[in-house]
Amino acid sequence: MSQAFEYTIPFTLYENKILIEVVIEKKKYNFVFDSGAMSLLDLDVVNMKKAKNVAIDLQAEDANEQKKKLDVVQVPSLKLENINFKDGYFAVHDFDAINERSCVPIAGIFGSNLMNNLVWKIDFARKVLIVSDQSFTEHRDVAISFEKEAFSNVPYTKLNIRGELIDLVLDTGAGDALTIGKTTFDKIKDETFLEGTGASATSLFGNNEGVFYEDSMNISFASQPTQIFKGIHTTVQGNEMALLGIDFLKHYQPIFDYKANKLLLLTEKEPASHPVSSWGFGLAGKEGKLIVINLFNIPELQAQFKVGDQIIAVNDIETEKLDKLQLCRVIELRKQKDTLVLTKSDGTRVTVKKLDLQTYF
């Protein structure tokens, strides 16, 4: 059968999020391509005459298992390149808190309810999505069957991790390779893992505060139990939710086939081994200050910082009275450099270097 259509859509990978450009009411917006969520719109985008309120009582849950009731609207038209998505359902949320922490403004989420009944190939090398209404014929050696949640159509499957079989969301909106909940981790943890404290992740409705963990694990999928994926970097946060994200998917040329209900992967080439590079602590803007928001329990780091410390300078960037421009400059420095000099609010200067987390577990 010939394909009725196939379109190539460019994307930007920013902070391990796939960002695409959509058009609503002749205006362009950045959306996150997020298979782990229903579609969402920022309040500022929804304030348009043609959007229709829908009598649906929706309780949404973000990646940190925080829940919130959201209104739902129906949008007559959203255009993604040459595809016109008509009368799509969107939950409505205020993105101000998200955009306060982001250097790229986000106006919404392009979720699984819009992806449904289509086939999406993610080409990370070319940074394009290829979408069709027919299944692709090109070779993939692993096919992971999935089910879809009602209404949102979010895909989920079963994952085997150290003998435990758990539900797993296939989530292009999650940056980490694998995220699991603490309930599962308590059953399977060994003696070698890394612990941290503070806000481990920022999601739709806020931060995940408390204790979190990092580990390396072998996994397999229930629908293909003989295919073992080794040494998958795993983040532990929240209680129950498990997510398979970008840092895993980017190695296997994934195809999300919502017609056949399968995630297709190409595993013939073993991913190159790279250090799990991290500063070991997180910084974020909070009430006009640059604050240490999380920290791994590594002695050399704990001797320098504690969660809540204010940083008033990063190299030559003054951050005592933090604005958006300074925050974005700091974010870029953390990407580009392997060593930084930070000044704490008491005037103490400390030199920090990137770590390879794999040496700790």
How does pLDDT run across 177-225, given as a tens digit for each residue? 999 999 999 999 998 999 999 987 655 545 566 899 999 999 999 999 9
**1-5, 125-129, 138-142: least confident range:** 1-5
Looking at the structure, do residues 11 and 35 belong to the same domain, yes or no?
A: yes
Looking at the structure, do residues 281 and 261 belong to the same domain, yes or no?
A: no
User: What per-residue confidence (pLDDT) applies to 295?
Assistant: 95
User: What per-residue confidence (pLDDT) applies to 69?
Assistant: 83
Residue 112 lies inside a defined structural domain of this protein: yes
pLDDT in tens, 61-87: 655 566 678 889 999 999 999 999 999
* High-pLDDT (> 90) share of the chain, %: 74
pLDDT in tens, 255-283: 999 999 999 999 988 787 777 899 999 99
Of 185, 155, 183, 184, the closest CA to residue 171 belongs to 155
d(CA 355, CA 98): 27
Answer with the one of 265, 290, 310 that is the final residue of a domain. 265
- For residue 302, the SS3 value is helix
Highest mean pLDDT among 26-35, 55-64, 90-99: 26-35
Looking at the structure, do residues 47 and 78 belong to the same domain, yes or no?
A: yes
Count structural domains, the chain.
3
Residue 271 lies inside a defined structural domain of this protein: no
Contact between 279 and 352 (Cβ < 8 Å): yes
Looking at the structure, do residues 173 and 281 belong to the same domain, yes or no?
A: no
User: What per-residue confidence (pLDDT) applies to 131?
Assistant: 98
- For residue 49, the SS3 value is coil
Looking at the structure, do residues 148 and 85 belong to the same domain, yes or no?
A: no
Looking at the structure, do residues 148 and 260 belong to the same domain, yes or no?
A: yes
d(CA 128, CA 237): 31
Residue 190 lies inside a defined structural domain of this protein: yes
Domain of 236? 142-265
- Tell me the CATH number at 298: 2.30.42.10
Structure-token pair, residue 150: 């009602």
The stretch 135-153 carries a mean pLDDT of: 94
Average per-residue pLDDT for the chain: 91
Distances, alpha carbon 260 to alpha carbons 155, 212, 238, in Å: 12, 36, 31
Looking at the structure, do residues 236 and 322 belong to the same domain, yes or no?
A: no
- Which of 10 and 203 is assigned the larger pLDDT? 10
Token pair 């998200």 in the structure block, residue = 98
User: What per-residue confidence (pLDDT) applies to 107?
Assistant: 95
Looking at the structure, do residues 157 and 176 belong to the same domain, yes or no?
A: yes
- For residue 218, the SS3 value is strand
Contact between 212 and 235 (Cβ < 8 Å): yes
Structure-token pair, residue 356: 């390879």
User: What per-residue confidence (pLDDT) applies to 327?
Assistant: 92
Residue 337 lies inside a defined structural domain of this protein: yes
Residue 270 lies inside a defined structural domain of this protein: no
User: What per-residue confidence (pLDDT) applies to 201?
Assistant: 62
Structure-token pair, residue 77: 């038209």
Answer with the one of 105, 132, 159 that is the final residue of a domain. 132
Residue 52 lies inside a defined structural domain of this protein: yes
- Tell me the CATH number at 116: 2.40.70.10
- What confidence category does residue 1 fall into, taking pLDDT thresholds of 50, 70 and 90? very low
Looking at the structure, do residues 162 and 260 belong to the same domain, yes or no?
A: yes
Residue 341 lies inside a defined structural domain of this protein: yes
For 161, half-sphere exposure in the C-beta direction (CA atoms, 13 angstrom radius) is: 29
The stretch 331-343 carries a mean pLDDT of: 95
Q: Residue 314: is its pLDDT beyond 60? A: yes
Answer with the one of 78, 108, 132 that is the final residue of a domain. 132
